[in-house]
Structure 1
Amino acid sequence: MDLPVVVIGAGPQGLAAAAHLRERGLEPLVLERGAGPAAAVAEWGHVRLFSEWPELVDSAAARLLEPSGWQRPERGYPTGGAWITGYLAPLAQVLGDRVRYGARVTGVGRKGRDLLVDAGRAEQPFVIHVEEADGSQSRIEAQAVIDASGTWTSPNPAGADGLPALGETAAAGFLTYRIPSFADAEPYAGRHTVVVGNGHSAATAITELARIARQHPDPRITWVLRRGTVGDTFGGGEADELPERGALGQRARTAVDQGLVSLVTGFRIERIDTADQGAVLVAEDGRVLEPADRVVVLTGFRPDLSILSEVRLELNARLQAPVRIAADIDPNIHSCGSVRATGAVDLAQPEPGLFIVGAKSYGRAPTFLALTGYEQVRSVVAELAGDHEAAARSELVLPGTGVCGGAGLFDDPTGAKGGACCAPAAPQVIQLGRAPAGTAV
């Protein structure tokens, strides 16, 4: 019997990969650590996506779903929860027992060959070590592996140097690395919340907290930016070709303009102290914020490569992304939201038959779009099926993704550099100075 192609992760790209594999006559086996499909998406189910419904449905998945009576959503910007109920959960249901839940992949290797061994390596099947929900362990053989496990379980720490700040682990009871929800206001109502981060997740957190602040008395919200100026924090507004992304930035700006949020710039966290009053953030330059009841850390994500330690990888040293796509997505070089399509040839690793796709393929870069991932899995599955012409062909048509982030030197603490791939962002009216010790601007 032919071995399956193992897909790690039952998120949008993992489930799409399974649909393409079925369409190509290959047997998928999707291993999902969560209890249901798109478990990571479910954790941010209250967050609205920037992409419209037509950009969130994979073509092969739609073809697989249509005989079941499923109706493709045509308009609107769904939340993560609506994405699951309207598309991802029905897709997983159609795939049936090809998706296994509560199956956490702990390692990928070659049968009888550790990382060092060359002899006969490519002729051996992959072996995937799995820990089941009941704690038991199993080993699965596969002809190929598509790692679509994403980066959601590996958030970046609060520390400015990429390592946890001193005391960050001890302060875990005060910290969350997830976006707050207006529907769960109790941990934030009437309390001091500090949001750390400059990206879209941080802006979303600010808008949710501002909604809570408008409904509850005595809120205090502090927004901590590592960069030295406000810069492009509020995005491109009406100039953004992704309207929902532009609107998000404007909602965050409104919260600041209305005095609901205090901004602190150039604050690069060195230490988090715990006290009876809460968590105290201390910057590398010695500034100190007043104690926070809750610290929301939204500084991006990174890939967990530990499960791939016994297979051969070729990754960019900065981004931890496949080397052939790194230059297109590196925020040190540019910050535009659209890049060329990436396919099997770009994603192939020195370990034949292994592909990293989806958000994990972008490593630490933050610009991933669902359509990009769908094109990745279409090309990868075509390659696995031996259709090299289809694998090499690009079928991706991306919508315009609007203005650049203007980061220039990524996360530049001085804020002195404009966007490196397009015109610098216009100067901001808001002027923010250095905060005295123990205060928030």
Structure 2
Amino acid sequence: MSENNLLTQKNLPVAIIGAGPVGLAAAAHLAIRKEAFVLLEAGNEVGSNMASWSHVRLFSPWEFNIDKAARQLLSSHGWKAPNNEDIPTGLEMIENYFKPLANLPEIKPYLHFHAKVVAASRKGFNKVKTQGRDELPFVLHVEKNGERMVVEARAVIDATGTWTNPNPVLSEGVWTTEENSLRNHIFYGIPDVLGKHKERYVGRKVLVVGSGHSAINTLLELGELKDQVQETEIVWALRKSKLKDVYGGQEQDQLAARGELGTRIQKLVESGKVKVLTSFYIQELKTKGSQIQVIGSHENELLYLDDMDEIVSNTGSRPDLSFLREVRVTTDSSLESTVELAPLIDPNVHSCGTVRPHGEKELRQPEKNFYIVGSKSYGRAPTFLMATGYEQVRSVVAALVGDYEAAERVELDLPETGVCSIQRNSCCDSEQSDQSPVTAEAVSSCCSTVTKPAVTKSSCWS
């Protein structure tokens, strides 16, 4: 397949956008079913988003991190699987799983790096035209090595994720000129505090914003840095009102490493090494010389945090929908998730982390044969894990090849979080509950509409 003409085949392939874990899994499922595909990756390597946090260890063991079809393909070429119980870092995922999979003869010829999809449409039609639309191929406009090319496909699987599109620090969710001007002092993601980014934080006053596992990983490393250099100051600002909501299931969590994160951050907070501000909503950032002033609402009053040297923003991310403007894609108005998933994953409703199994049916778009999968399908909801994405693409690929029985079948089994908030009238309502956490077994017995529990979002999932 030439660089200047990616596709000249009469039988058009399925185009996969993004060669992260879910995109690679989609390629593996298509390869096993002998279905033509092309895999387009904007970065210079597979798992390029994960490479940005390669130093972080996942909390899920290898058992949940390898797609079944990918394992089958790899094993057929003599690949030795890692121990199911070991917990990899992002780097180990890339080196021991993504790269061997990408180099297989069933995948490598169809994988293109530095291939950024900048627009998607139907051949000859814009978004408005309806008659005959479904019979036309998709066209993907791709920028590759400075040149614009067009890739035609019979179906599209968008697995681009959300990691490279972070939310702003401000609680209103809007980008401001002031925040953009401070980009050199704000890290969006999980910095390598004890490694290549150490000089940026050592002996500095650092504000960590966020309450998820990304923030916990950042804080734990900053705590170790403070042990080395006492002058390092750590401030943790989170919108949640109760720290116990952040600590999670701890020893009740079926993923021990995830439960341990909650235990470790609780010990760090109780040690007094971190100044914690709960129910803190950032309204404004200002430059004060070489430092940052953070202004926010705390207990119904304005609070000024002065003399911040650095900010680490762990406030989540959002899907990039800009290149999908000319295809008929709909998303939930609040979560920006796939519409059918929204009531299953809305964090305003589901504090249990419980998500009913779903597949091709829930992922369908008004544009026939166009699917958004992986963390992007969850929009801004924070409860995604790789195993969920693997099940999504298994079901989608089955439908694309006409195996509707397999598409409708559920093949997802995930560990329990071990924690959920209960209100007087409902056990699956808002995380603002004043009640104590209870076991997942109690949750499943009362949340009768939930078929399977899902795991909470990894601190290192993109």
User: Residues 237-258 of structure 1: CA distance to partner in whole angstroms, max 9, x if unpaired?
Assistant: 2122221111111111122122
Per-residue deviation at 1:165? 5.1
CA contact (8 A) 1:51 1:242 kept: yes
**Aligned partner letter, 1:20:** H
Q: Does structure 1 residue 142 correspond to structure 2 residue 179?
A: no
Deviation, structure 1 residue 371: 1.1
Does residue 345 (structure 1) correspond to residue 361 (structure 2)? The answer is: yes
In the alignment, what sits opposite 2:459?
none
Amino acid at match of 1:7: I
Cα–Cα, structure 1 residues 416 and 309, in superposed 2: closer, same or farther, change >3 Å? Answer: farther
State whether residues 210 and 255 of structure 1, in contact with CA within 8 Å, keep that contact through their aligned partners in structure 2. yes
Q: 2:391 aligned with 1:375, yes or no?
A: yes
Amino acid at match of 2:96: G
Matched, 1:316 2:332: yes
Summarize the alignment of residues 380-391 of structure 1 with structure 2, pairs less than 5 Å apart: 380-391=396-407
Please report how far the alpha carbon of residue 227 of structure 1 lies from its aligned counterpart in structure 2 after TM superposition: 2.6
**Which of 218, 238, 252 in structure 2 is aligned with 1:239?**
252
Partner of 1:432: none
- How far has the Cα of 1:96 moved from its partner? 0.9
Whether the 8 Å CA contact 2:419–2:439 is kept in 1: the answer is: no
CA separation in 2, counterparts of 1:220 and 1:417? 33
User: 2:33 is aligned with what amino acid?
Assistant: R
What is the rounded CA distance, in whole Å, between the counterparts of 1:335 and 1:31 in structure 2? 35
1:319/1:365 contact within 8 Å kept:
yes
Shift of residue 402 of structure 1?
A: 2.3
SS in structure 2 of the partner of residue 268 of structure 1 = strand
Distance 1:241 1:229 in 2: 23
CA distance in 2 between partners of 1:138 and 1:402 (Å): 49
CA distance in 1, matches of 2:177, 2:294: 10
Greater CA drift, 149-158 or 177-186 = 177-186
In 1: Cα distance, 2:191 partner to 2:179 partner: 19
Contact 2:418/2:438 (CA < 8 Å) preserved in 1?
A: no
Residues in 1 aligned to 2:242 and 2:410: alpha-carbon distance in whole angstroms: 39
Q: Secondary structure at the match of 1:271?
A: strand
Q: How far apart are 1:233 and its partner, in Å?
A: 1.7
State the alpha-carbon separation in 2 of the partners of residues 383 and 68 from structure 1.
Answer: 27
Q: Note closer, same or farther for the CA distance 1:418–1:17 as it changes in structure 2 (3 Å cut).
A: same
Number of equivalent positions: 420
Q: Is contact 1:18-1:28 (8 Å) kept?
A: yes
Displaced runs of 4+ in structure 1, greater than 3 A? 405-410, 415-424
Shift in CA distance, 419/121, structure 1 to aligned 2, threshold 3 Å: farther
Please tell me whether residue 180 in structure 1 is matched to residue 191 in structure 2. yes
Distance 2:215 2:176 in 1: 19
**2:453 alignment partner in structure 1:** none
Q: 1:89 aligns with which of 81, 85, 99?
A: 99
Please name the residue that 1:257 is paired with. 270
d(CA) in 2 for partners of 1:164, 1:356: 25
User: Gapped runs of 5+ residues in structure 1?
Assistant: 425-441
Alignment of 1:120-139 (within 5 A): 120-132=132-144, 134-139=145-150
SS in 2 for 1:290: strand
The separation in 1 between residues aligned to 2:338 and 2:68, in whole angstroms, is 25
Opposite residue 159 of structure 1, the aligned amino acid is L
Amino acid aligned to 2:182:
A
Contact 2:421/2:435 (8 A) holds in 1: no
Determine if the alignment matches structure 1 residue 196 to structure 2 residue 196. no
Structure 1 stretch displaced more, 353-362 or 89-98: 89-98
| Corresponding letter in the other structure for 2:263 | Q
* CA shift digits 1:258-296 (9 cap, x unpaired): 221110122111110012241111014421112211100
Deviation at 1:403, TM superposition (A): 1.3
**Offset at 1:67?**
2.7
Aligned to 1:210: 223
Distance 1:405 1:126 in 2: 45
In structure 1, how many angstroms separate the alpha carbons of the residues matched to 2:302 and 2:437? 29
* Consecutive unaligned residues in structure 2, runs of 5 or more: 1-9, 423-427, 444-462
Q: 1:3-402 counterparts in 2 under 5 A?
A: 3-74=12-83, 75-94=85-104, 95-132=107-144, 134-164=145-175, 167-181=178-192, 182-184=194-196, 185-284=198-297, 285-402=301-418
CA–CA separation in structure 1 for the residues paired with 2:421 and 2:203: 33
Cα distance, 1:236 vs. partner? 2.1
Distance 2:224 2:207 in 1: 15
Deviates more, 1:64-73 or 1:222-231: 222-231
SS in 2 for 1:169: helix
Taking structure 2 as the reference length, what is the TM-score of the superposition?
A: 0.87
Q: Are 1:180 and 1:209, in contact at CA under 8 Å, matched by a contact in 2?
A: no
Q: What's the TM-score, normalizing by structure 1?
A: 0.91
Q: CA offsets, 1:385-405, max 9 Å, x none? A: 011111111111222232137
Superposed displacement of residue 11, structure 1: 0.3
Task: Check whether the contact 1:165–1:269 (CA below 8 A) recurs between aligned residues.
Answer: no
SS in 2 for 1:187: helix
Letter in 1 for 2:184: G
After TM superposition, give the deviation of residue 409 of structure 1 in Å. Answer: 4.1
Q: Secondary structure at the match of 2:302?
A: coil
Residues 18, 160 of structure 2: 8 Å contact kept: yes
* CA–CA distance in structure 2, aligned partners of residues 238 and 218 of structure 1: 33
Query: Between the two proteins, what is the percent identity of the paired residues?
Result: 45
CA contact (8 A) 1:174 1:294 kept: yes
